[in-house]
Amino acid sequence: MARTRRARHTGPVATALEVGRARSDIDVMSRAGLPLSEFMHEAMASIARVVPFAGACVTTLDPATALVSSVRKVGEIAGHNDADVAWAQIEYGIEDPTTLIAMVEEGTAVLGVSDAFDGDIARSARMAEFMIPRFDYRDEARVVFMDRSGPWGAVSMLRGADEPRFGRDDLAFLREVAPAFTRGIRAGLLATTGARAAAEDRGPAVVIVDAQDHIVQTSPGATAYLALIADVPDPGDPLTMVQALVSGARRFARGETDRVPRVRVRAGDGMWLVMHASPLGGTPDRVGDVVVTIEQARPQEIIGIAADAFGLTPRERDLTAMVLRGADTKEIAAGMHVSPYTVQDHLKSIFEKARVTSRRELVAKVYFDQYVPRMGAEVGPTGWFLP
């Protein structure tokens, strides 16, 4: 990728007033219920005023697996997606203490790669094999946005050879704004900008990747699903998610991780999808092949991530699940062994946290009307609506 030349960061550091204003702006935005892309764009602009960077990659993560579920680009790398798959091969296929998964496992929210390796950035495989030879980036600040539910997103901010390394003040500011950024991602993930027609049920689609990481087969529907995933402002290559799953599946098969490669993805039109990967067996020439399956998410697969995003209590989570299944107040009260008045109290708290005023709005916010035409239909043993 030929990088666009940029204005180098050589000016004075941000003043205390600028730092305070940026911190306040991000906090306010995180509470405004902005759609995800809008929040990320505005929040990164605020960060750039305090911690300048040449380019940045902002991702959402599935809090259950720390796998990337969407990619957005900022700065000089916006629109350049030709190296995204190679990034995923390294990010999810190697051992490195500065990978996103390693940071999550260690509980490390913020780090500077140069600082982590005492200035010897070549000790990071990602820097030595990817960032330096491809782009001549010489330092990276990484932030994982996580809470008790897990990691919701991350940002990688990059600087070149003739720019200063990310220093203590830079990392301290990023650490301060991380909780607000986490809140904004959680809210933005479930924010909607309007209703749409009921989603077309295409059924599962598969992508088969060989041992050399080449796509050798796809089923009908795979291209359409990937196009939906990429339908966001300044997107990365949707095959980034495919490659992350493939690399994760190989590590899982080798026993290097106990994380089953699976990720819940919200497409650009609001549709919830689930992607998961499994190594394939067969003839010796097919060893290393991995199948990635993409399908519409079942309702129960979304309830957990929605409840975590809203910050619901375990009791509120159970009640929300019953609401989303179409149960009325009497049924909920009987199922939870509480009075109808207690159900209404819980509903009031849920509505406040979800910023809705009715059950119908709650269903629409969580599912974006993806399942509404089928709500009330019989559910089969797999947990999916019967034909």
Domain that holds residue 118: 16-190
**Mutual angle of helices 340-354 and 299-310, in 10-degree steps:** 70
Same domain as 184, residue 50: yes
pLDDT of residue 372: 55
Q: Is residue 198 part of a domain?
A: no
Question: What would the two tokens of residue 108 be?
Answer: 């490390």
- CB contact at 8 A, 229 and 238: yes
Tally the domains of the chain.
Answer: 3
- The C-alpha atoms of residue 364 and residue 270 are separated, in whole angstroms, by 10
Same domain as 27, residue 163: yes
CATH number for the domain harbouring residue 80: 3.30.450.40
Same domain as 80, residue 186: yes
Mean pLDDT lowest for which of 9-23, 174-188, 200-214?
9-23
Question: Which of 299, 334, 359 is a domain's end point?
Answer: 299
- Residues 26-45 pLDDT 10s: 999 999 989 999 999 999 99
pLDDT of residue 4: 46
Same domain as 324, residue 210: no
Q: Is residue 268 part of a domain?
A: yes
Same domain as 276, residue 313: no
pLDDT of residue 6: 47
- The C-alpha atoms of residue 27 and residue 34 are separated, in whole angstroms, by 12
Same domain as 178, residue 144: yes
CATH number for the domain harbouring residue 209: 3.30.450.20
Same domain as 110, residue 65: yes
Same domain as 100, residue 246: no
pLDDT of residue 17: 93
Same domain as 232, residue 245: yes
Q: Is residue 100 part of a domain?
A: yes
Question: Which of 299, 330, 352 is a domain's end point?
Answer: 299
DSSP 121-175: GGGSHHIIIIIHHHH-EEEEEEEEEEETTEEEEEEEEEEETTSPPP-HHHHHHHH
Q: Compute φ and ψ for 73, nearest 5 degrees.
A: -110, 145
Maximum CA extent, the chain: 67
- Residues 217-254 pLDDT 10s: 999 899 999 998 988 877 889 999 999 999 999 988 88
pLDDT of residue 233: 79
Same domain as 24, residue 169: yes
Q: Is residue 5 part of a domain?
A: no
Same domain as 350, residue 219: no
Question: Which of 264, 299, 334 is a domain's end point?
Answer: 299
